[in-house]
């Protein structure tokens, strides 16, 4: 596919915002307070995209609800990474039939990665007549215009043209929280791992300009955000398309220089592009969390090759060793796919032994899901679902055991945590995160939400740590 850089002109975004204001008069006519519901599936990038959709909707005058029976507009932001997510979306979109009947005039939009696949758009066109608007990730920037077309023309609108992707600055954002923020630094992926649909639906890698990213980070810090997660499918290739001599490590350093007490996190890091310079930068930048999500996918070099991951088991283990040399306290998490086509018992055993060797703090494990149009979809796959489930269960057991052991080692230690929210429970009413991103439950004053606090860890299990406030920091 040909690489193209396509920046959306600022005047185009201004035009979209002007459309929001035109729609404002229409949807708030007679003093009405219209409501919208945005339902998000999948990864953090989708969460960040939904903040933009809500940003536009807020400009149009919409308030937000979680109840589809109250909503005038429903936007379902979908994921295509695994079949399970797609099935859930289709089931839930089908169920909107009830709210649409109860609220004639309700507009239903489906967007995101799932609908960037032709067969899915066709399915919605044919079998889901309640859906009024369908738009892919490359069209998000012109959501106001598309919604206006639905409202004014009273016909269904489909905007899912093939594209290698765009970069659009200046879209308003309606963020989810006040403590943690997502900050997209790049879009798309060039890696074409053989199982993965992302490069087909999200287009080629496009980096935002460093000054745009740093400016947004500065604004977030000034607005009081304390935990900023830099997002990209492979943040380690940030800047390669810009030709500006700025790489991901340089970007971290620039953000680290912003005055204020806050944490820098990032995801996801592709192991083949994780450099010693990155680990050194993480160790040297005091605001950078000592956490790296480094998806290994498999512990077998043969499977890694079939996956087109670009590293062997040994090269991966070497990167982990270097990273730990720079940061002995590094928290390491990973993604693993079980049951890639043709994965044998012995190859799966190599994944188990790699996990034993690395001892991840947490692992996200998935059973391989066949994705239309990817190379792996046509690879021979003689193993049954039951075989894969058995492996998946064994890996989960291992992962749970190691996480519990790792958490047990925190007991009695003092940790500086960021209190990020209330749990809604009476006991352990607050949730917090360690520098490395481990979840800590606390019993303390809700006024501490948004503050860094020193806690003593009193207990822990597979999923979380429990602590008490040692001293207000
Ligand atoms: N860009 C990120 C993650 C993208 S998808 C990265 O490369 O790490 C998130 C995770 O979903 C992947 O790490 C992988 O473990 C899993 N995944 C992707 N495609 C999948 C498929 N077809 N079946 C099962 N899991 C998959
Ligand atoms: Fe998918 Fe691989 Fe790109 Fe991650 S790096 S999004 S797994 S193709």
CA distance 292 to 205: 21
Which amino acid residue places its CA nearest to atom 5 of ligand 2? Answer: 191
For position 372, what pLDDT does the model report?
95
* pLDDT of 95 over the 90 cut: yes
The tokens describing 218, both together, are 């500065």
Non-local CB neighbours of 324 within 8 Å, separated by 6+ positions: 330
**CB-CB contact of 115 with 121 (8 Å):** yes
For position 176, what pLDDT does the model report?
85
Which amino acid residue places its CA nearest to atom 15 of ligand 1? Answer: 335
Ligand 1 probe mutation, 196, 205, 268, 307, most atoms within 8 A of CB:
196
Could you identify the atom of ligand 2 that is nearest to the CA of residue 196?
1
Which amino acid residue places its CA nearest to atom 13 of ligand 1? Answer: 335
* pLDDT of 6 over the 90 cut: no
Burial class (CB in 10 A: 0-12, 13-18, 19+), 175: middle
Higher pLDDT among residues 153 and 36, named by residue: 36
Instruction: Please indicate whether residue 297, judged by its CB atom, sits closer than 6 Å to ligand 1.
Output: yes
CATH number of 180-408: 3.80.30.20
Q: How far is the CA of 425 from the centre of ligand 2 (A)?
A: 37
In what helix (H) or strand (E) does residue 145 lie, and over which residues does it extend?
helix 143-153
Each as own residue / partner, the long-range contacts of residues 346-350 (CB below 8 Å, 24 or more positions apart, any chain) are 346/300, 347/298, 347/299, 347/300, 347/302, 347/303, 348/300, 348/391, 350/298, 350/299, 350/300, 350/313
Instruction: Please indicate whether residue 191, judged by its CB atom, sits closer than 6 Å to ligand 2.
Output: yes
**CB-CB contact of 234 with 198 (8 Å):** no
Q: Where are the domains of the chain?
A: 10-159, 180-408, 414-469
CA distance 115 to 118: 7
Does the fold of domain 180-408 match that of domain 10-159? no
Ligand nearest to the CA of 204: 2
Ligand 2 probe mutation, 194, 202, 233, most atoms within 8 A of CB:
233
> How many beta carbons lie within 10 A of that of residue 100, not counting itself?
19
Q: How far is the CA of 49 from the centre of ligand 1 (A)?
A: 19
CA distance 183 to 216: 8
- Pick among 3.40.50.740, 2.40.50.140, 3.30.830.10, 3.30.1490.20: CATH of 414-469: 2.40.50.140
Instruction: Please indicate whether residue 234, judged by its CB atom, sits closer than 6 Å to ligand 2.
Output: yes
So what CATH class is 10-159?
alpha beta
The string of pLDDT tens digits covering residues 437-470 is 999 999 999 999 999 999 999 999 999 999 999 9
The string of pLDDT tens digits covering residues 324-349 is 999 999 999 999 999 999 999 999 99
For position 5, what pLDDT does the model report?
66
Q: Give φ, ψ of 316 to 5 degrees.
A: -60, -50
Ligand 1 probe mutation, 84, 297, 337, 388, most atoms within 8 A of CB:
337
* pLDDT of 102 over the 60 cut: yes
Instruction: Please indicate whether residue 189, judged by its CB atom, sits closer than 6 Å to ligand 2.
Output: yes
Which amino acid residue places its CA nearest to atom 19 of ligand 1? Answer: 196
Instruction: Please indicate whether residue 193, judged by its CB atom, sits closer than 6 Å to ligand 2.
Output: yes
How does residue 4 score in pLDDT terms, banded at 50, 70 and 90? low
Does residue 268 have a cis bond before it (omega within 30 degrees)?
yes
Which amino acid residue places its CA nearest to atom 11 of ligand 1? Answer: 81
How does residue 222 score in pLDDT terms, banded at 50, 70 and 90? very high
DSSP string, 388-429: HHHHHHHHHHHHHHHHHHHHHTTTT-EEEEEEEEE-S-SSS-
Non-local CB neighbours of 174 within 8 Å, separated by 6+ positions: 51, 54, 55, 57, 58, 64
Which of these, 171, 184, 21, 46, lies nearest to 110 by C-alpha position?
A: 46
Instruction: Please indicate whether residue 196, judged by its CB atom, sits closer than 6 Å to ligand 1.
Output: yes
Helix 345-358 and helix 313-326: axis angle, to 10°? Answer: 10
DSSP string, 170-185: ------S-SSEEEEE-
Could you identify the atom of ligand 2 that is nearest to the CA of residue 270?
5
* pLDDT of 311 over the 70 cut: yes
The string of pLDDT tens digits covering residues 406-437 is 999 999 999 999 999 999 999 999 999 999 99
For position 2, what pLDDT does the model report?
39
**CB-CB contact of 298 with 271 (8 Å):** no
The string of pLDDT tens digits covering residues 18-32 is 999 999 999 999 888
Which amino acid residue places its CA nearest to atom 2 of ligand 1? Answer: 233
Beta bridge partners of 331: 291
Ligand nearest to the CA of 188: 2
Mean of the per-residue pLDDT values for the chain? 95
Beta bridge partners of 365: 336
For position 232, what pLDDT does the model report?
97
Instruction: Please indicate whether residue 136, judged by its CB atom, sits closer than 6 Å to ligand 1.
Output: no
Ligand nearest to the CA of 79: 1
Could you identify the atom of ligand 2 that is nearest to the CA of residue 190?
3
Q: What DSSP state is assigned to residue 159?
A: E
Q: How far is the CA of 170 from the centre of ligand 2 (A)?
A: 27
Q: Which residue has the tokens 């089931």?
A: 91
CA distance 346 to 350: 6
Average pLDDT over residues 237-265: 96
Which amino acid residue places its CA nearest to atom 2 of ligand 2? Answer: 193
């Amino acid at each position: 596919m040909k690489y193209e850089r396509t920046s959306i002109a600022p005047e185009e975004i201004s035009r979209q915002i002007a459309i929001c204001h035109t729609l404002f008069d229409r949807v708030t006519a007679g003093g009405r307070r219209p409501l919208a519901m945005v339902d998000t599936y999948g990864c953090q990038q989708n969460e960040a995209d939904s903040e933009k959709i809500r940003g536009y909707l807020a400009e149009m005058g919409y308030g937000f609800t979680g109840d589809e029976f109250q909503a005038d507009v429903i936007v379902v932001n979908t994921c295509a990474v695994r079949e399970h997510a797609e099935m859930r979306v289709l089931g839930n979109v089908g169920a909107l039939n009830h709210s649409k009947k109860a609220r004639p005039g309700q507009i239903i939009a489906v967007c995101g990665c799932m609908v960037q696949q032709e067969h899915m758009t066709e399915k919605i066109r044919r079998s889901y007549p309640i859906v009024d608007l369908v738009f892919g990730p490359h069209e998000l920037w012109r959501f106001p215009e598309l919604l206006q077309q639905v409202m004014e023309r009273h016909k269904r609108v489909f905007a899912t043209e093939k594209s290698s992707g765009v970069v659009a600055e200046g879209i308003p954002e309606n963020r989810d929280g006040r403590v943690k923020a997502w900050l997209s630094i790049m879009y798309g992926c060039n890696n074409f791992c053989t199982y993965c649909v992302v490069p087909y639906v999200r287009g080629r890698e496009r980096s935002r300009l460093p000054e745009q990213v740093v400016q947004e980070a500065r604004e977030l810090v000034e607005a009081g955000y304390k935990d900023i997660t830099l997002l990209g499918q492979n943040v380690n290739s940030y800047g390669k398309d810009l030709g500006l001599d700025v790489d991901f490590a340089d970007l971290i350093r620039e953000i680290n220089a912003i005055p204020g007490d806050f944490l820098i996190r990032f995801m996801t890091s592709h192991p083949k592009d994780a450099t010693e310079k990155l680990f050194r930068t993480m160790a040297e930048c005091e605001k950078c969390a000592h956490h790296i999500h480094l998806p290994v996918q498999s512990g077998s070099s043969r499977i890694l090759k079939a996956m087109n991951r670009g590293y062997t088991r040994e090269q991966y283990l070497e990167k982990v060793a270097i990273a730990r040399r720079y940061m002995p306290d590094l928290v390491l998490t990973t993604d693993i796919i079980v049951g890639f086509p043709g994965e044998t018992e012995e190859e799966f055993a190599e994944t188990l032994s790699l996990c034993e060797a690395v001892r991840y703090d947490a692992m996200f494990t998935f059973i391989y899901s066949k994705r239309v149009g990817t190379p792996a979809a046509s690879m021979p796959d003689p193993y049954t679902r039951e075989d894969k489930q058995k492996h998946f269960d064994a890996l989960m057991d291992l992962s749970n055991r190691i996480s519990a052991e790792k958490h047990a080692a925190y007991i009695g230690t003092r940790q500086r945590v960021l209190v990020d929210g209330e749990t809604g429970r009476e006991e352990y009413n607050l949730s917090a995160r360690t520098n490395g991103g481990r979840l800590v439950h606390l019993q303390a004053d809700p006024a501490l939400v948004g503050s860094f606090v020193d806690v003593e860890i009193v207990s822990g299990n597979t999923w979380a740590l429990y602590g008490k406030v040692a001293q207000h920091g």
